[in-house]
Structure 1
């Protein structure tokens, strides 16, 4: 099974979204997301899929797996270029069958999918872009327990980068300290 990672951007208050979108514009974070996930399967919930602009669905260069429990959505999702799974564990198994040369599978949202992955110990890495903004939101990143997760890298190591949009940001990578159990094959 490949490494299972999660990737998101969050504010200090752990906001990751508002009204189905990110409440900031940081092009460097979008470029980072593309670089990290390119060539790897990505897993997302149906609402995250629907939040992507149609011209970007499915995300190019990646197998897109969408978790939905609503069987009436399966055919439209498939017609839109996504593979579907009824649970996160099934999505991980399905994504694992499509890794080809990629060493990782990336969970890319939304909040409930991230929380489930953390609670069930399904992910080993969290690639988190810290966004230096105080904004309201309705979707939040899970808390990474410092007894379970450790910061292994930060770019820049100290301080912040400033986006072309003027927003400050920093890329951080966390690793689960104990090996994560993997979804069934």
Structure 2
């Protein structure tokens, strides 16, 4: 039964922004200023459902597939209340508590990624939830670690932020040092995201220029 449940879980994509030393956070927030173009990229990619998963049914009652964003409780709480749940995506929060501030009935709360996605997949099969599009794991560190321990973790969409930033939280894997991960060329990144990605970006925030790069790594 457990094996059947595991096979119902779709591939996982971890989406994360890190420093060159794999830092991802400081005091529960981002260590760098808010990067508007990077946030817009995150929103586009996590909302966009690949055409291969889009329903072609002529039945008007058939729900269209919807991407899923999986996060921990602290990540949920770090999102400003007016922006949560993240729109046009199924929000899943991994928490030991079933009570979550600002979470309505449309937010899935579970104690593990596998149980949440297995439940969602079953509901979708019964027609009680939207079919699952892509599943994006969006943080924090413990949730990334939980996802990386799963065989369904296939891809990492990584934004490498240039410069020195003080961090107290790190991404749990160094994709450039680990042999199990391989960087895709730009063509692969474009195909995965569904757009022509300008890999090198620069934004000026409060008089400070911040450079960063969009990358895609796949598990090999």
Q: 1:151 aligns with which of 180, 183, 196?
A: 183
Other-structure match for 1:86:
111
The runs of 5 or more residues in structure 2 that have no matched partner are 1-8, 48-65, 187-196
Q: Quote the Cα distance in structure 1 between the aligned partners of 2:105 and 2:163.
A: 34
| RMSD, aligned α-carbons | 2.2
Q: Quote the Cα distance in structure 1 between the aligned partners of 2:88 and 2:16.
A: 19
The runs of 5 or more residues in structure 1 that have no matched partner are 178-185
Q: 2:211 aligns with which of 168, 174, 181?
A: 168
Answer whether contact 2:91 2:107 (CA < 8 A) is retained: yes
Q: TM (normalized to structure 2)? A: 0.70
SS for the counterpart of 1:108 is strand
Q: 2:25 aligns with which of 17, 32, 50?
A: 17
Other-structure match for 2:95:
68
Deviations 1:98-149 (A, max 9, x none): 56372x1100000111012113333101000000021111221121353211
Q: TM (normalized to structure 1)? A: 0.83
Answer whether contact 1:27 1:164 (CA < 8 A) is retained: no
Provide closer, same or farther for how the CA distance between residues 95 and 29 of structure 1 changes in structure 2, counting only shifts above 3 A.
Answer: farther
2:12 aligned with 1:4? yes
Bigger CA radius of gyration = 2
Provide closer, same or farther for how the CA distance between residues 135 and 83 of structure 1 changes in structure 2, counting only shifts above 3 A.
Answer: same
Answer whether contact 1:44 1:65 (CA < 8 A) is retained: yes
Q: Quote the Cα distance in structure 2 between the aligned partners of 1:4 and 1:110.
A: 15
Q: 2:142 aligns with which of 101, 112, 127?
A: 112
Answer whether contact 1:40 1:99 (CA < 8 A) is retained: no
Answer whether contact 1:77 1:83 (CA < 8 A) is retained: no
